[in-house]
A and B are shown apart, each in its own frame.
Chain A
Amino acid sequence: MATEKSPMSAKEVLDTYFLENRARILDIASFLDRIDRAKASEAGKGDFRYKAFMKALKILVQSEGNRTKALQVSFSDLSKEPRKSAAGLKGAYGAWEGPFSEDH
C-alpha cells in the first residue's frame, strides 16, 4: 500500500507534540487516581470499560509501530453475527463487554 511519508523528523515530532501529549498522559493518570478515590472503587474496577482501559495501557507500551490500530481492535466487538435487535439502543460504550452482552 502506497504511503505518504511524514516530512517531519522524530525530533520535530517531539518538538511539536510532546507537551500536548505529556498533558494527555497526566490526564489519564488523574482519571485512574479519581477511580481509586471514588466510592465503590473496587466495583468500578470490575467494570468491562475499566478492564478494557487497563488492557489498552499494556498494548500502548508493548506494541510498536501500529499502536493505534491495535488499541482500536482491542476495544472492538469481535463477534461476527448481527445483533438480534437494536431496540432501545442508540449509543456506544467505547469498549466491548464480551460475548452474550447483547442479551443482558
Chain B
Amino acid sequence: MAHGRGLSVKIIDPHIHMVSRTTDDYQALAISGIHTITEPAFWAGFDRGTGEGFKDYFNQLTIAEPARAAKFGIKHYCWICLNPKEAEDLKLAEEVLEIIPDYLDRPRALGVGEIGLNKNSRNELKVLERHVAIAAERDELILVHTPHLEDKLKGTRLIMDAILNERRINPSRVIIDHAEEQTVEEIKDKGFWVGLTLYPNSKCSPARAVDIIEAYGSDKIWMNSAADWGVSDPLATLKAANEMRMRGHSKALIQKIFYENPKAFLSQCPKFEAS
C-alpha cells in the first residue's frame, strides 16, 4: 500500500524488467506498496546469438526472478516470447518459437509477450504472426510492444491488423502497450486494452499519462514503468498515481487505474493472483 503524502492505494506494475534491476529496486517496490509485478520477455540491449541463450533467459524469467521477488514479499509473473528487436533473424526466430510453448506451461508464465514490431519490417511481421498463432492455439493472453517514436503509429496499426486477422483471438485478451496520444483512440475502438508506459524522454511522462486518462477515459487501460536497463524509474507508477491525487482525482479512480484494471486484465489467466 503506497502511503507517500496520503497516497494510500494498492498498485500493480504490469510491465517491468526486473532482470535488469537491483535488489534495492525490489526493496523500493515493496516499501511503496507495489507487491505484484509482471515481466515481459524483452531485448537485453544486445542480440543473443543462439536459441540456447533464450532457454537461460526464460529460466531466469520463470524460476529465478520469481524467487528473487518472493524474498521481498512481491509476486512476480512473466510473459514469454522472442522480442521484435531480435525477430529480423528468421533462423534464430524459428529456434526460439519452437521452445516457447514449454515455458508458457510454467506456473508463473501468464501469456505471450511482449510481442509486436520494432522497425515495422516484413520479417518482424512474420514472427509476430507466428506468436499470435501460438497464443491462439493455446488460448493465451497477449502483451504487445509497439514501436517507438515515428514508427509507433504505423506499427500499432500493422500489429492490430495482424492480430485481428487471427479470428481465434479475442481483443479483450490483448493489451497493446506503450500507447500514446496518436494511438489510444484506435486501440480502444478495436476492443483491445491500452497500456501507457511511463518512461523518460521516449514515452509518457506521468502528467501526460494522466492527461490521456482525462481525455480518453479510464476503462480498459493500465499504466506501467517498463523499467529496464535504460534510463527508467521503477516507481514511475507511484508518481503517476500521485499526479492523479494532486490534481484531485478520487481514490477510487486511482485504485481503478493502478490496481483494479491490471488485476481485471491479468486475471483472465487463471494462474494470476494479485497480492
Contact = CB atoms under 8 A, between A and B. Distances in A.
A87 B90 CA distance: 11
Interface stretch (A27-35, A38-46, A55-63, A71-79): A71-79
A58 to B, nearest CB: 18
B122 A80 contact: no
A86 interface: yes
Contact of A73 (B123, B153, B216): B153
Given A6-B214, A6-B247, A90 B85 contact: yes
A3 B150 contact: no
Interface in B193-228: 202, 207-208, 211, 213-219
Contacts of A25: none
B151 interface: yes
Contacts of A92: 147-151, 202
A96 B249 contact: no
A82 interface: yes
Interface string B248-264: 11000100000000000
Nearest to A85: B121
A86 B88 contact: yes
A8 B118 CA distance: 37
B150 A95 contact: yes
Contacts of B182: 69, 72-73, 76
Interface residues of B, number: 41
A91 to B, nearest CB: 7
Nearest to A75: B150
A36 B213 CA distance: 39
Contacts of B125: 82
A87 to B, nearest CB: 6
Contact of B214 (A5, A16, A84): A5
Interface string B143-175: 000011111111001100000000000000000
Given A1-B217, A2-B217, A77-B154, A7 B249 contact: yes
A4 to B, nearest CB: 5
Given A68-B181, A84-B122, A93-B149, A4 B253 contact: yes
A83 interface: yes
A69 B181 contact: yes
B124 interface: yes
A7 B253 CA distance: 12
Interface of A: 1-8, 16-17, 68-69, 72-73, 75-80, 82-87, 89-96
Closest 10 pairs (CB-CB, A-B):
A7-B248, A72-B182, A86-B121, A86-B119, A92-B149, A76-B153, A2-B217, A69-B181, A92-B148, A83-B121
Interface of B: 85, 88, 118-125, 147-154, 157-158, 180-182, 185, 188, 202, 207-208, 211, 213-219, 246-249, 253
Given A3-B214, A76-B153, A92-B150, 8 more contacts: A1-B185, A4-B218, A68-B211, A69-B181, A80-B154, A86-B119, A90-B118, A93-B150
11 contacts: A3-B216, A3-B217, A4-B214, A69-B182, A75-B150, A76-B152, A76-B153, A77-B151, A80-B154, A82-B158, A85-B123
